[in-house]
Amino acid sequence: MASSALSRIANLQKHFNPNSKGERGVKISSEVAEALALGKAVVALESTIISHGMPYPQNLETAKEVEAIVRQNGAIPATIAILDGMPCVGLSLEELERLAILGRKARKTARRDIAHVVATGGNGATTVSATMFFAAKVGIAIFVTGGIGGVHRHGESTLDISSDLTELGRTPVAVVSAGVKSILDIPRTLEYLETQGVCVAAYQTNEFPAFFTEKSGCTAPSRVDSPEDCARLIDSSINLGLMTGILIALPIPREHSASGNIIESAIQKALKEAREQNVTGSAETPFLLARVSELTGGTSLASNIALVKNNARLGAQIAVSLCQLRDHSCKGT
């Protein structure tokens, strides 16, 4: 059995080690490669929240704390980024710190941007869509983020729709998030996800959460009530060969939920300022989140950190449950 496991590790290294023959692929940390080869629980984490979500050193401390929560709940964290043109799955502490110091100098990288960042030897912080792409490429089934992108307000006329949604429609990775960022048009986002064939399930609630707040006013299409429920849902999707993502929407902890009226007022002001300053495209979401944080006296940033940690906890528990469901001998890490 040990020799078989070593063989699987060798195969992973053969295909994804950048020093192997053939075109450059994906660099997987030895810890993540071993966990994948042995069928252990692994959770993918994005890097845009590190580079674009908050200032240094708070971003580094948050990244380390999120990885620690994943470990405490039995899984191996695999933060994903592109460094010097090399896609990396699983970052060392030094690499995490480098990315945190780079901050916004690292390119915010969605699926569209991957080839260019790699070709130019650049540094890229992966968004939801790019993180899902690399997670699926190396066989990671669970990905944790804060909140996904969606249809922007007035998107019916601007056609500003996040690539996160189309990625969910074509990449078989389960995403644990606090729903859709409340700066977006949540009803239209849910409609778009339905069109893409994405299963959307709220966790222990019938209402779809709205990132900073527990309630959005939208009914969730499905509901799950435990990590085991989530694991069975993911396992069924894999076995059926649906080849689409799953969105598991976990409400922010009640004690960190900001007042909906305060947040909504800040969002409306931030949206107005974004239009006046002609902030559009990939720059809009970071601008809006930063402005909302300023307008709420930092309350929204503290809530953001709290919900990411909460999502990491559930994501790791789901990964362990899925591991145990697919291999009854799996004991976690």
Active site residues: 46, 181
| Per-residue buried b or exposed e for 52-64, using 16+ beta carbons within 10 Å of the residue's own CB | bbbeeeebbebbb
**DSSP letters of 230-295?**
HHHHHHHHHHHT----EEEE-PPPGGGPPPHHHHHHHHHHHHHHHHHTT--GGGHHHHHHHHHHHH
The pair of structure tokens assigned to 149 is 């992108």
The SS3 assignment for 174 reads strand
Residue type, 94: E
Q: Three-state SS for 145? A: coil
Half-sphere exposure of 129 (CA within 13 A, CB side): 19
Structure tokens at 129: 């869509």
Distance of CA 193 to the CA centre of its chain: 16
- Residue type at position 150: G
Interacting residues of 109 by C-beta distance below 8 A, sequence separation 6+: 48, 82, 117, 124, 125, 126, 127, 130
